[in-house]
Amino acid sequence: MPESPYLVIYPERVRANYRALDTALTVTGTRIRYAVKAAPVDDLLVLLADEGAEFDVASIGEIEQCIALGIAADRLCYGNPIKKAAHIARAYALGVRRYAFDTEDDLERIAEHAPGSEVECRFLSSAPESKTPFGTKFGCRPDEATNLLIRAHDLGLIVGGPYFHVGSQQLDPSAWRIGIEQAGAIVQALADKNIAATVVNVGGGLPVSYVDTAPELSDIAAAISSAAAEFLPESVRVIVEPGRALVGNAGTIHAEVVGVRVAPDGRRWVYLDIGRYNGMAETENEYIAYRFVTDRDGDPVAEAVVAGPTCDGDDVLYQRTKVLLPTTLRAGDRIQILHTGAYTASYSSVSFNGFPPLTVHVSGAERE
């Protein structure tokens, strides 16, 4: 067994997630584009390519990784609206012909360095806040999206269509309905100018059950499919861009208790060999509440503050969230953290405090 902490990924679960989502998305021609950042694991990229997925890539690093694995560049979309001119040029040289943007500035860079490419314009939808929201970091106003896509057409680019992301770990299926209705209005406004959008990208955000149960993927897919049928013309293809939902429940982190102590304020602290900087980044603001499994489950439990191993005061996973752990937990005990396939290894630092990044092991077993 490798030294903990490490992440075990179950590829067959990723395949099952992909197939279940594909089946549940009933609108003809809907495409699934995997957001590589969630778990950029070679085996998973190859598996999803075999299943027919497209790939949302955020950087030259992710583009080069996909291409090195033999994934055709025409299956990639450079979906990060924040890109340098040099990176657009490099992506174009590597064969990437699809880009997302949300400013005129970026659009002009794409027109110059990736001429004739297809573009999607990200707008800020009025969807309710998700568990890990983007705030206003991305997305223009919907009316700006119409104007920018007209400008894209004038710059000789191929108009894909509007694009929104309802925020990661979105628990409200109506969020997609709101976004699709807004996207439908943009498609119509473009049609009024004789510009035919071909796609609407409804982003990711599809949730996973952690401590709290999330809606089923089939419920989200039903909301997307029915809104698409209601608000979009048949000629428009829907693109769904999940990261978390394809890989989240396909991974388990194996960690160890480094120590337990009662602090001067009387609270019990449990220190793990995994923390904010080597895989548990999504516990920032305690947004994601992961489930713990220990070998002592069944013993009496009490509240605990859970912290990571570094000397950093922010390296605390949970101090407001109520976490109940066995009172018998001791240094050296093993602890599993469930549904940690998404945004864990890909987030871990190279060597903060000298701790190595989280290692990933791809399991040959079909299930845990």
101's torsion region: left (phi>0), alpha (psi -120 to 50) or beta?
beta
* Active-site residue flag, 66: no
Distance of alpha carbon 228 from alpha carbon 275, whole angstroms: 41
State yes or no: residue 199 binds ligand PLP (CB under 6 A): no
Least distance to ligand PLP, CB of residue 66, Å: 15
For ligand PLP, the closer CB: 205 or 326? 205
Given 162, 184, 242, 308, the residue binding ligand PLP (CB under 6 A): 242
State yes or no: residue 83 binds ligand PLP (CB under 6 A): no
Given 36, 38, 217, 250, the residue binding ligand PLP (CB under 6 A): 38
Task: From 74, 36, 41, 73, select the one nearest 58 (Cα to Cα).
Answer: 36
Structure tokens at 80: 């990060």
Chain position whose Cβ is nearest to ligand PLP: 204
- Write out the binding residues for ligand PLP, residues 53-72 only, by CB under 6 A: 56
Angle between the 174-192 and 217-231 helix axes, to the nearest 10 degrees? Answer: 30
Distance of alpha carbon 349 from alpha carbon 360, whole angstroms: 14
State yes or no: residue 151 binds ligand PLP (CB under 6 A): no
- Write out the binding residues for ligand PLP, residues 153-172 only, by CB under 6 A: 165, 168
For ligand PLP, the closer CB: 246 or 325? 246
- Write out the binding residues for ligand PLP, residues 91-130 only, by CB under 6 A: none
- The one segment of 186-194, 222-230, 242-250, 333-341 that binds ligand PLP by CB under 6 A: 242-250
Q: What angle do CA 65, 279, 333 make, to 5 degrees?
A: 135
Question: Which helix or strand (DSSP H or E) is residue 361 part of?
Answer: strand 359-362
Task: From 80, 38, 24, 36, select the one nearest 218 (Cα to Cα).
Answer: 24
> What single string gives the DSSP state of each residue in 62-114?
HHHHHHHTT--GGGEEE--S---HHHHHHHHHTT--EEEESSHHHHHHHHHHS
- The one segment of 24-32, 182-190, 198-206, 300-308 that binds ligand PLP by CB under 6 A: 198-206
For ligand PLP, the closer CB: 128 or 328? 128
Least distance to ligand PLP, CB of residue 8, Å: 20
For ligand PLP, the closer CB: 282 or 333? 282
State yes or no: residue 244 binds ligand PLP (CB under 6 A): yes
Which amino acid is residue 28, in one-letter code?
T
Q: Centre a 10 Å sphere on the Cβ of residue 70 and count the other Cβ atoms it contains.
A: 9
Least distance to ligand PLP, CB of residue 305, Å: 28
Least distance to ligand PLP, CB of residue 35, Å: 3
State the number of binding residues for ligand PLP (CB under 6 A).
Answer: 15
- Write out the binding residues for ligand PLP, residues 294-353 only, by CB under 6 A: none
Distance of alpha carbon 259 from alpha carbon 307, whole angstroms: 10
Q: Report residue 2: phi and psi, to 5°.
A: -65, 160
Active-site residues, by number, are: 311
Q: Where on the chain is the footprint of ligand PLP (CB under 6 A)?
A: 35, 38, 56, 79, 165, 168, 203-206, 241-245
